[in-house]
Structure 1
């Protein structure tokens, strides 16, 4: 680069340093992209713009990547380190792109061992998708003037998106080295950048009234309006007005400016409330969006924070914030209008008895899918009060499936999302509700009271589970499902309800498969297993190490995240949350829980109970026998496993149990918690206490099963409601009922049912 150009770029960079604050996507780009530092890098941009190039340069220099303005020297030749697909703001390939690419291919022909990493990059100033049938609100007088106003207004909201690298050598070997490859690459690059833009900013937003007019003109809603008028004996005009009011109640009114403003607020808030937000497997979601899939996010529901946290994470992962199905209970002033501007659409708890409402809602959701907007809904229906996943509500999932069948829209992919916290601000309220307190209706006063509870929330976790393509699922579950497309309007296919139920269970399993173990839920698990909820620091550290070793050496799934910290660090982190009491007795530190604290932290233990239930069950069986074979352990677990699988959404099949249980036995032997002699497993007397703490993790559940089976054996004709009521009473009267009904009797009784 000549001296004059250096001076020119330095002068141009001065205002950019003030106006532009860019963020890389993905944030951990060096890890995700896997760039080889020994191979040269060629940056490919969609179009040439000096501001874009200098913004890219800033990000590259900050991450020790080659300067895009410095020429690449190979075999005595100098070539630009960047190539722009087009000169203007439109991605129409021009001759210069093809010429430069041919120069690189010529170098490869001379030196076949040469490999260049092609790195597509998109620089975006702002992420406004605009409105349908409206021209973008930019100044059109001069390109330079337009860019200046863009930088002034959107410079602080700039993203530099790095796509997956492409090997020049692999490209040349696969496609050849003639002139046609440059033309083909130009077309592929143009499509790539268009898809990338759609992935980051999404399709244009609808004009709300135009959307309502389109919905009202649909045959399905027209028929529902006529039925409403006939049943309620009102005029068609009045029924049509009712449908319009329902649309006003349901539909979102998302605003990019509101999203931008909330980004500033949430960014400030997360930095003060959370010690960090851990995100895993976001790359798989970006690949789906890049491939043109219609994405439906299906997260677990722990807190009102879930709405905000997931949208915030997606925004910073370079993905479009989704349209969110929110309970109509949140549609109060001022929360309702705010949530609506941020992408929420509102749904009633029940559709029963209101055919017009169900029709309007189904058509609205189908319209979102057909326009390509990503959607988010909570399949549990409401927030979990216990910390475990709730039984799924299949209504909105059924609507999703029927929308795909009726409208023939883009492939829909469900993305399970595990959201976890080290502190959930509603836990105390959940505990009161479980004790019988009436749930308070959401209101402005309650929102203000909730803000007062905001304090140190520890770490937040957002883990994206294994995506589930509806097309692939139906091809496997109902191979003839395409034949039902034409008939779905007339009647529901016979396979639909079983498919939806099975699909819902699969989603819940995949949410649990992506769980996050953390300091809070691991410490809570250990302390709740101890008598009087107290452990010395040494005992607690020993138990934390036991849990960590189990999760690392016999992982529940490869998607479960386990802390990469030592037990001492986890304990210090948990103590900083002020949920445990630290006492000193005879020179020892004792960590303990009060009765009230013990009730509250069961929520966090339940978050990961499915990860440790099988090792706890193995430990419990071994403790209850002086010696037992592996085959008998497997047999006893297999008898009650169907109940555990259904309750905790475990992913192991019955056929997988033997190998998993054998691996757990080997791990417990490795940790010297149990011994094996003459093919008999028995507890190690030297490490009996940590084994007892591990076994206690299953005791409450075994206790409930024992009570239930005992009641069924003595009252074979008892109805479900009476069984639940009696079982709860017994549980309160006999808190240590497991002493009265030992495990072997539980197994014997369980095998009858």
Structure 2
């Protein structure tokens, strides 16, 4: 224990000069810490400033004072253990702390009382989160707290970084379990082992929090030009262009300079303060879920690759900010070269962005340069972030994956097969996306606005005047690449013996991996008031509901999400429908009017189009409950009949919405949906037969509104399936064009305000899925020929549509006589 006089002397200076941020914010809950059981703290270095900074946090959490001894069964035992003492000022020698001797006392106390438990809580402190440099300057060396700094260096560090102190609590270690696992070991052996584990732990925590030491950028880029793959690519470029090697090398250097980041921890600290101010101004909070899983992966030595969905330019900033706040070093981010404009480009580079051209097909030198740079990031231990969709979604749905970066990631792993690279899918959601207005203009045919400094400045000023509601960052289920490749390609390690070769299985594997990433992003979706209200209103006729009916529908949607959760990673608001709607209406996205009977909540045509974006964020979570509701509104079915009909349509929904339920999961999920609907008194029956409640019952309208969620998808399916049955077979391009034309007509006739309803990409995906499901074959002239199963599926879909809509589709498509 440190001397009491020193702690008392430093108490007030530390309280005035130090501002600490705790990671995680709720360690008792997230780390499963039990305050009722004795707690002992473990530190890397004996430091009065560290101890006092932690003491203040412990008081806030209701945890024991780390400066006071532990009193257990009449014994006075150490409360805080230290691996090392500070480096001596003059000799720079370092001595071991009290860790092993004091741990032996604690273990001995447990031996005398077999019912007692002690939790050992490791705590790491980081002042300024400086990673240090590979070749540090004298000042940088003085301000680095590596290797247990002397009291003088620590004083300088606190003076410089006292307001940037991060405190990381780790998962506690049960000393009782340690004794039980090694019953024959001596106390000294146990102490030696735990000290060794603790030293590795603190070293890894530092790497997670600060990242690896920073190289000199110019030196690193020059070294990359000397790698064997780069030299071969430069030689090939010189031969292909018939120029000197030096000219090709200069071009490669220019590519590298265009691509490479210029990461600055100091700039990140400034950006952290700025973004904290901005987020507090425009958001009502940012909810983060499952970050501890990612922290543990990073601590275990995994190279983390963040693969988020892409909704907004805010994504870059928000995800890096959240990762930094969660006690991890921000990733290097692959950004489109269109964002490399002044002043944003240099700022992004310092925040970790590296720039990539939209397409470099045919430019082998650029491809090699980019691949080598990406590999160097993995090799040095930097986390990386890129958007698998390529660009921002204009419709709120996930876009089909672009697999180039995934392929490079897999190839990087093949070059060093034992390297544990793990993909972390991330769902990013907003109650307000600032670009939605421009997205809608683009969907109407307007050209995309070119990014510029003035545009970015103007958008930023406008954003500060708005209320963006809440933001959501949910980390999904990770994908360890070694494990994934082992499942998909058992002999994949053979390819690592020749890393320059492109194995034949790479393309199909990354295509499947891309779908898996997007599926896991959707699994981690966050429900919120805007998305749920949009879902309910867009399912209503004329897009209007009374406030009471809307509140009841929100209650139903929330209850279904809890009774029949689509995935374990999704998050659901804790509020009820009434409170959630009251909160949502403050955002001014919905029209609220009053008549003689009460309040109405509605959407005009312009707002309805915008709200489809938010509805589409969570459409996949409710499409199967909606399908069950749609089927039961038509007639009664047994559980097995329902499941058979859902299975017939599920491949189409799965491909369109990136859903990942396998057959067993689908059956279990459908059972939960039926139970959930029955609990809400919307349906009745049992496995032998389910039916909707009588139309006169209040629950009937809720079921009807729920069924409306899937109407647009079913109509699009009916258009394509009915067109396929035309007497004159259609080729793929012609089918896409005609289906789009019919969808546009249907949209105009029935007021469908969803731009993606007649989106050619969705129609193309549907046609591809029909082929993959063996419902359609290619004829001799490349025409599409449906089989009997496709005709039966068409009749199933048409049977679920409103009679007027089904007749309209038949009439529009069968003017020349469809095959019946």
TM interval, short-chain normalised: over 0.9
Q: CA deviation at 1:147?
A: 1.9
- 1:673 maps to 682
Q: CA deviation at 1:271?
A: 0.7
- 1:146 maps to 153
Contact 1:418–1:463 (8 Å) recurs in 2? yes
Task: State yes or no: 1:712 paired with 2:724.
Answer: yes
Distance in 2 of aligned mates of 1:93 and 1:547? 61
Contact 2:127–2:158 (8 Å) recurs in 1? yes
Distance in 1 of aligned mates of 2:402 and 2:476? 19
Task: State yes or no: 1:481 paired with 2:479.
Answer: no
Residues 239 and 59 (structure 1), Cα distance of their counterparts in 2 relative to 1, 3 Å cut: same
Residues 259 and 152 (structure 1), Cα distance of their counterparts in 2 relative to 1, 3 Å cut: same
1:359-418 CA-partner distances (Å, limit 9, x unpaired): 000010011001110000000000011111110000010000011102346210001100
Q: CA deviation at 1:298?
A: 0.6
- 1:59 maps to 57
Instruction: Please show how residues 422-441 of structure 1 align to structure 2 within 5 Å.
Output: 422-441=431-450
- 2:558 maps to 548
Distance in 2 of aligned mates of 1:667 and 1:32? 29
Contact 1:369–1:409 (8 Å) recurs in 2? no
Q: In structure 2, the residue corresponding to 1:614 is in which secondary structure?
A: helix
Q: Please, which moves more after superposition, 657-666 or 408-417? A: 657-666
Task: State yes or no: 1:160 paired with 2:167.
Answer: yes
Task: State yes or no: 1:466 paired with 2:464.
Answer: no
Distance in 1 of aligned mates of 2:11 and 2:409? 49
Residues 140 and 63 (structure 1), Cα distance of their counterparts in 2 relative to 1, 3 Å cut: closer
Which of 137, 142, 157 is 2:140 aligned to?
137
Q: Please, which moves more after superposition, 31-40 or 608-617? A: 31-40
Distance in 2 of aligned mates of 1:145 and 1:419? 44
Residues 731 and 443 (structure 1), Cα distance of their counterparts in 2 relative to 1, 3 Å cut: same
Q: CA deviation at 1:153?
A: 1.1
Instruction: Please show how residues 377-388 of structure 1 align to structure 2 within 5 Å.
Output: 377-388=386-397
Q: Please, which moves more after superposition, 644-653 or 604-613? A: 644-653
Which of 342, 345, 351 is 1:336 aligned to?
345
Contact 2:558–2:576 (8 Å) recurs in 1? no
Instruction: Please show how residues 267-666 of structure 1 align to structure 2 within 5 Å.
Output: 267-408=276-417, 410-454=419-463, 455-489=466-500, 491-625=501-635, 627-666=636-675
Q: Please, which moves more after superposition, 633-642 or 567-576? A: 633-642
- 2:761 maps to none
- 1:689 maps to 701
Residues 664 and 139 (structure 1), Cα distance of their counterparts in 2 relative to 1, 3 Å cut: closer
Distance in 2 of aligned mates of 1:550 and 1:655? 20
Distance in 1 of aligned mates of 2:13 and 2:658? 55
Q: CA deviation at 1:604?
A: 0.5
Q: In structure 2, the residue corresponding to 1:325 is in which secondary structure?
A: strand
Distance in 1 of aligned mates of 2:70 and 2:363? 67
Q: In structure 1, the residue corresponding to 2:477 is in which secondary structure?
A: coil
Q: Please, which moves more after superposition, 452-461 or 708-717? A: 708-717
Q: CA deviation at 1:187?
A: 1.0
Which of 780, 785, 795 is 1:745 aligned to?
795
Contact 1:45–1:121 (8 Å) recurs in 2? yes
Task: State yes or no: 1:730 paired with 2:742.
Answer: yes
Distance in 1 of aligned mates of 2:589 and 2:717? 30
Aligned residues: 746
Q: CA deviation at 1:710?
A: 1.4
Residues 695 and 114 (structure 1), Cα distance of their counterparts in 2 relative to 1, 3 Å cut: same
- 1:109 maps to 111
Q: Please, which moves more after superposition, 339-348 or 446-455? A: 446-455
Which of 63, 66, 69 is 1:68 aligned to?
66
Q: CA deviation at 1:683?
A: 4.3
Q: In structure 1, the residue corresponding to 2:335 is in which secondary structure?
A: strand
> Where in structure 2 are there 5+ consecutive unaligned residues?
752-790, 801-818
Distance in 2 of aligned mates of 1:85 and 1:9? 19
State the superposition RMSD in angstroms.
2.3
Contact 1:46–1:91 (8 Å) recurs in 2? no
Residues 92 and 285 (structure 1), Cα distance of their counterparts in 2 relative to 1, 3 Å cut: farther
Q: CA deviation at 1:477?
A: 0.7
Contact 2:143–2:156 (8 Å) recurs in 1? no
- 2:764 maps to none
Contact 2:86–2:151 (8 Å) recurs in 1? no
Which of 231, 238, 248 is 1:222 aligned to?
231
> Where in structure 1 are there 5+ consecutive unaligned residues?
none
Q: CA deviation at 1:727?
A: 1.8
Contact 2:427–2:524 (8 Å) recurs in 1? yes
Residues 169 and 264 (structure 1), Cα distance of their counterparts in 2 relative to 1, 3 Å cut: same
- Output the TM-score relative to the length of structure 2: 0.88
Distance in 1 of aligned mates of 2:418 and 2:387? 22
Contact 1:706–1:738 (8 Å) recurs in 2? no
1:183-210 CA-partner distances (Å, limit 9, x unpaired): 1111111111111111111101221111
Q: CA deviation at 1:464?
A: 0.6
Q: CA deviation at 1:749?
A: 10
Distance in 2 of aligned mates of 1:325 and 1:488? 23
1:471-493 CA-partner distances (Å, limit 9, x unpaired): 0011111111111112341x321
Distance in 2 of aligned mates of 1:235 and 1:591? 70
Q: CA deviation at 1:657?
A: 2.8
Residues 328 and 715 (structure 1), Cα distance of their counterparts in 2 relative to 1, 3 Å cut: farther
1:315-353 CA-partner distances (Å, limit 9, x unpaired): 111111000000011001111000000000001111212
Where do 4+ consecutive residues of structure 1 move more than 6 Å? 90-93, 736-739, 741-744
1:62-115 CA-partner distances (Å, limit 9, x unpaired): 211100111111232212210111112599772632211111122122222221
Residues 720 and 749 (structure 1), Cα distance of their counterparts in 2 relative to 1, 3 Å cut: farther
